[in-house]
Copies of this chain bind each other. A is one copy, B any other.
Amino acid sequence: MTTSRVTIKDVAARAGVSKGAVSLAFNHKPGLSEATRERIFQAAQELGWAPSLTARTLAGSRVDVVGLAICRPARLLGLEPFYMEFISGVESVLTEHSCSLLLRLVRSVEEEVGIQESWWRGRQIGGSILVDFRPDDPRVAAAERLGMPVVAVGHPTLTGGLTSVWTDDATAVTEAVRYLAALGHRRVARVGGAAALGHTAMRTAAFDEAARTLELAGARQLTTDYSGEAGARATRSLLSAAAADRPTAIVYDNDIMAVAGLSVAAEMGLSVPGDVSLLAWDDSQLCRLTHPTLSAMSHDVHGFGVEAARTLFGVLSGEGPGSHPVPTPVLTPRGSTAPPSR
């Protein structure tokens, strides 16, 4: 009930030493006899004391909290397996360093800049992981202006001089299109993610480029908000074209939209992969739960989070800016892709 805040002073008194000695003991610094050290830990244990991180932070040492602000409508976040998996990867590294994650959902990049700045100014965080980069993202300048240690999750062309962790979306898109073309598809469509995001633009450009190179006349692209509903709408729009124009293969920017697409195809009486092939992205467990199972560009999202966190610790320990690519998503063919029917 009472709790009566136990402080370092109480521990010092109980162990019969000074505050300084307790501090020394708890930071495993030299200058104390084994006996005293033991006595101090004993006292701390008895009183149930742990050093206040707040005070410790204020006293000038580092902050062991990492920030992460995510800017997506709440409705979508719930559904996207991506972030939770990413976070779990980040967490697994933070835990090793007994660090915590400060999370915030924001509505705009501008708001995020504000949050990050106040976190940093208020000494709430030691550094941050920035995600969902846009072209000319204001966070690049903000991070540099503040001198705040960050790792930017995004392609180096988007993240300015910041240390970045990224996947090669362009190559993955190209591989996806090549694969579908190799199966014999000519009318390939892509249902992309949010148009404002930098990596969507990169995928769009790569898709165009691949379509041109492979001389796919019927290539088409749409952008969405990543939601299943938008994916369904986009698919419906693509598949309702006259049979001669209708795409025979569709690539999606996440797996929720691919699942939605699968259901639209069924609803329209089209068989997958007979009438249309579908290819998902990110490849969560979901892709193996549908019927037919979804072929996907598969991706170790957890590992992506791990790498981001590791890199942030690198930055925190003084490493200069760098570019850290993580493995390119690999094609994982399952039941939803096949050669087009004649």
- Chain A residues engaging chain B, CB cutoff 8 angstroms: 1-3, 6, 48-58, 63, 65, 74-75, 77-85, 87-89, 91-92, 95, 100-105, 117-119, 121-124, 144, 146-148, 227-229, 232, 256, 259-260, 262-263, 266-267, 284-286, 288-291, 301-302
Min CB distance, A47 to chain B, in Å?
11
- B286–A79 CB distance below 8 A: yes
Number of copies: 2
Distance in Å from the Cβ of A292 to the closest Cβ of chain B?
9
How far, in whole Å, are A123 and B56 apart by their CA atoms in the complex?
A: 11
Task: Please report whether the interface of chain A is mostly helix, strand, loop or mixed according to DSSP.
Answer: helix
- Judge whether A92 and B78 touch: CB under 8 Å: no
**CB atoms of B122 and A51 under 8 A apart:** yes
A186 vs B50: C-alpha distance when bound (angstroms): 58
Q: Is the Cβ of B101 less than 8 Å from the Cβ of A102?
A: yes
A88, B77: Cβ atoms closer than 8 Å? yes
Q: Are A286 and B259 within 8 A (Cβ)? A: yes
* A285 B227 Cβ-Cβ under 8 A: yes
Query: Are A100 and B102 touching (Cβ within 8 A)?
Result: yes
**In the assembly, what is the distance between CA of A100 and CA of B3, in Å?**
24
How far in angstroms is the closest Cβ of chain B from A295?
15
